[in-house]
Amino acid sequence: MNTPGMNEAGAAAQVQAPAQFVHEIARSFVDGLARSVDPFGMSAPILHAQLAWAAHPAELHDRLTRLSADLWRLHQHTVRRTLGLPSDDPMPAIEGDTRFSDPAWSELPSWDLLKEWYLAFTRHTQDMLYDTPGLSEKDRERAAFWWRNWLNAVAPTNFLLTNPVALRKAFETGGESLVRGFGNFLDDLRAGDVRMTDPDDFKVGENLALTPGAVIMRNRLVEVIHYAPTCPRVHAEPVVIITPWINKFYVLDLVPKKSMVRYLLDQGLDVFITSWKNPGPDMADVTFDDYLMEGLHGTIEAARAFTGAPRVHAVGYCIGGTALAMYMAWANRHFPEDAVPVADWTLLTTLVDFRSPGEIEVFIDESSVRSLCEAMAQKGCLDGREMAASFRLLRANSLIWHYIVHGWLYGEAPPAFDVLYWNMDTTRMPQAMHGWYLRELYLHNRLIKPDALTVAGEPLDLRRIRQPLYAVAAEDDHIAPWRETFRIHRHIGGEKRFVLSSSGHILGIVNPVVDPPKRSYRAAAVQAGDRAESWQDASAARPGSWWEDWMAWLKPRAGKRVAARPAASEEFPALAAAPGTYVLER
């Protein structure tokens, strides 16, 4: 009962306190149950959200009032369409959602109503999850992610009898589209995956990864490829590219017109690249220290020995870039200042601060990492298809359901697309290395904490890095969000230039110079105190490829021109022709 003078806020708090107490008790029970039956956290965040709404009846009432208003508008739309009267679209699809783009979904009342009710239900459900009161932002994101994937799975576009386009194609082809679709389904079943492209359309070394070169060094972790020059004279100091080990290196050498490697060679640069071993269970105990020393340091030393150059210009892509940042911190402590073997470094879509590592964060917590490490301990490695499936879930409509609908329901053959083939050509990761990487970087974010990590005998401190940095991010990147990649500038010294490319994690980097230009970029130096938004506001967008800006920055630093070196030498004979042997391992 309210005491005299109690205000409304006090009364509301008195009513809500028991509900909040019950919510906390129920949440503890849910967490304990989830740890045993749902280690990857699919159901627990959704149950947390339901408990949170139950504990906040005032907010729930407000949300249901807004839902009722939209449902009334949708009811009026239904009546008007049923009577054949014109009606405005009460639930337009969000920008970029092409599932309902066929005119049948708008022109035919029955299909229009199915679409509208589905969109109304999904939109309000998603909005409620994102706005759940009393729930942490991470739990909101996780709940919305898993619920969104369920909503995507039950979309009417995904089923034959509720997809007017599939029914029309079946009628127009006399059922042939369904026969082809069933064949595609069987092919996917045999492949153990929903194929985004036909693997028979591509073969590495025949129509992908065509740039001539030679493997000049090989150890248990990496093959080092040195490319044959395309110019009679090259810059004396070589470029060494550290590729990510979660994918194969040839994304940077797909076909000649898209090849970053070929572009660098044509600019008169001498190029080396890492091609990582596809590890099996026998490499379970390989550590991150091994990757740093045998992989990065071994590659850089091989390039220096081959060319005779005292320094190299290092490039790291994605987690190859994260490893390069760790190597730079290691080298700046391990070597005297004037003997660090890297003159400058370039990072491509790279995180060093894992505070907010993009949408992949929905898979990262203590329970899920522990469960993943236990699973890896049984097999000795993580199958690349498991990681690929996780990344595809982040964009399920475009990376899963699109191919199911077009392949199984429409009977269309998978498209011949080199980037999609590369994306399906997955690799494994050793248990010890990958578990350490997940715990130390994603879970505990120790790389940005001075001396919190010791790698190959040296405590890492990013502040010791003084070599000039050229960092590239992509504005639509959901794997390494560009504002998070920008944060590296808070942790290192020296000259810094940042580039923001249009497009996403792959096409923002694989961004060849074409006429007319397909994409754009922003590029400017980073000053002390700059934040991502202020830097973006101060830098103008330019049409074209950032590759040209990179060359203007890199080539003057790469030394004088010397006679071009052959792909292999007497001291470093060709162990195999490019693209090597490790890249062919499945």
3-state secondary structure 46-83: HHHHHHHHHCCHHHHHHHHHHHHHHHHHHHHHHHHHHC
CA angle, residues 496, 559, 350, in degrees to nearest 5: 35
Grouping H, G, I as helix, E, B as strand and the rest as coil, residue 455 is strand
pLDDT at 25: 43
CA–CA separation, 182 and 18 (whole Å):
56
Give the amino acid at 296.
Answer: L
Q: Is residue 206 part of a domain?
A: no
Give the amino acid at 517.
Answer: P
CA 141, 484, 544, 419 dihedral sign is negative
**Three-state secondary structure along 229-268?**
CCCCEEECCCEEEECCCCCCHHHHCCCHHHCHHHHHHHCC
Q: Is residue 250 part of a domain?
A: yes
Q: Which residue has the tokens 């026969």?
A: 179
Question: Catalytic annotation on 381?
Answer: no
The enclosing domain of 436 has a CATH number of: 3.40.50.1820
The reply to whether 105 and 224 lie within a common domain is no
Annotate 467-517 with DSSP letters as a single string: S-EEEEEETT-SSS-HHHHGGGGGT--S-EEEEEESS-TTTTTS----SS-
Give the amino acid at 16.
Answer: Q
Tell me the pTM.
Answer: 0.88
The reply to whether 352 and 271 lie within a common domain is yes
The reply to whether 146 and 274 lie within a common domain is no
CA 392, 396, 402, 408 dihedral sign is positive
pLDDT at 45: 72
Q: Is residue 200 part of a domain?
A: no
CA–CA separation, 382 and 363 (whole Å):
15
Residue 363 makes CB contacts below 8 A (sequence gap 6+) with 40, 390
Q: Which residues pair with 92 in a beta bridge?
A: none
537-548 per-residue burial string, b: 16 or more CB within 10 A, e: under 16: eebeeeebbbbe
CA–CA separation, 437 and 485 (whole Å):
18
Q: Is residue 528 part of a domain?
A: yes
Please identify, among 131, 156, 181, the residue that sits at the C-terminal boundary of a domain. 156
**Neighbour count for residue 480 (Cβ, 10 Å):** 24
Give the amino acid at 555.
Answer: K
φ, ψ of residue 11 in degrees (nearest 5): -65, -45
**Cis amide prior to 516 (ω within 30 degrees):** yes
What is the chain's alpha carbon radius of gyration, rounded to the nearest angstrom? 27
CB 278 within 8 A of CB 582: yes
The reply to whether 142 and 220 lie within a common domain is no
CA–CA separation, 545 and 542 (whole Å):
9
The reply to whether 431 and 509 lie within a common domain is yes
Cα 112 → chain centroid: 34
Give the amino acid at 311.
Answer: R
Give the amino acid at 279.
Answer: P
φ, ψ of residue 466 in degrees (nearest 5): -125, -5
CA–CA separation, 120 and 471 (whole Å):
42
The reply to whether 152 and 217 lie within a common domain is no
Q: Is residue 422 part of a domain?
A: yes
CA 93, 95, 97, 101 dihedral sign is positive
Question: What is the extent of the structural domain holding 228?
Answer: 213-584
159-195 per-residue burial string, b: 16 or more CB within 10 A, e: under 16: eeebbbbbbebbeeeeeebbebbeebbeebeeeebbb
* Nearest of 313, 309, 317 to residue 260 by alpha carbon: 317
The reply to whether 145 and 253 lie within a common domain is no
DSSP state of 415: P
Q: Is residue 467 part of a domain?
A: yes
Please identify, among 156, 172, 190, the residue that sits at the C-terminal boundary of a domain. 156
Q: Is residue 205 part of a domain?
A: no
Q: How many domains does one find in the chain?
A: 2
Residue 105 makes CB contacts below 8 A (sequence gap 6+) with 111, 112, 115, 164
Helix axis angle, 44-54 to 8-37, nearest 10°: 160
CA–CA separation, 198 and 424 (whole Å):
10
The reply to whether 123 and 238 lie within a common domain is no
The reply to whether 390 and 485 lie within a common domain is yes
> Quick one: CA torsion of 441, 332, 494, 547, rounded to 10 degrees?
-70
CA–CA separation, 46 and 129 (whole Å):
8
The reply to whether 551 and 438 lie within a common domain is yes
The reply to whether 253 and 146 lie within a common domain is no
**Element holding 383 (H helix, E strand):** none
pLDDT tens-place values along the chain, 586 residues long:
344 444 444 444 443 444 444 444 444 444 444 444 555 566 777 776 777 777 778 877 787 888 788 888 888 888 888 888 877 777 777 877 889 999 999 888 889 889 988 998 888 888 887 777 877 777 888 888 888 888 999 999 999 999 999 999 999 999 999 999 999 999 999 988 899 999 899 999 999 999 999 999 999 999 999 999 999 999 999 999 999 999 999 999 999 999 999 999 999 999 999 999 999 999 999 999 999 999 999 999 999 999 999 999 999 999 999 999 999 999 999 999 899 999 999 999 999 999 988 888 888 888 888 888 988 999 999 988 888 888 888 889 999 999 999 999 999 999 899 999 999 999 999 999 999 999 999 999 999 999 999 999 999 999 999 999 999 999 999 999 999 999 999 999 999 999 999 999 999 999 999 989 999 999 999 998 899 999 999 999 999 999 999 999 999 999 999 999 999 999 999 999 999 999 999 8
Catalytic residue among 231, 318, 373, 381: 318
Distances (CA, A) of 555 to 264, 273, 473: 10, 18, 20
Q: Is residue 203 part of a domain?
A: no
Please identify, among 120, 140, 156, the residue that sits at the C-terminal boundary of a domain. 156
Q: Which residue has the tokens 């405005």?
A: 88
Pairing label, strands 454-455, 576-577: unpaired
CA–CA separation, 538 and 526 (whole Å):
10
Longest dimension (CA), the chain: 96
Q: Which residue has the tokens 């589905």?
A: 118
The reply to whether 223 and 136 lie within a common domain is no
CA–CA separation, 34 and 28 (whole Å):
10
> Quick one: CA torsion of 476, 478, 483, 489, rounded to 10 degrees?
-110
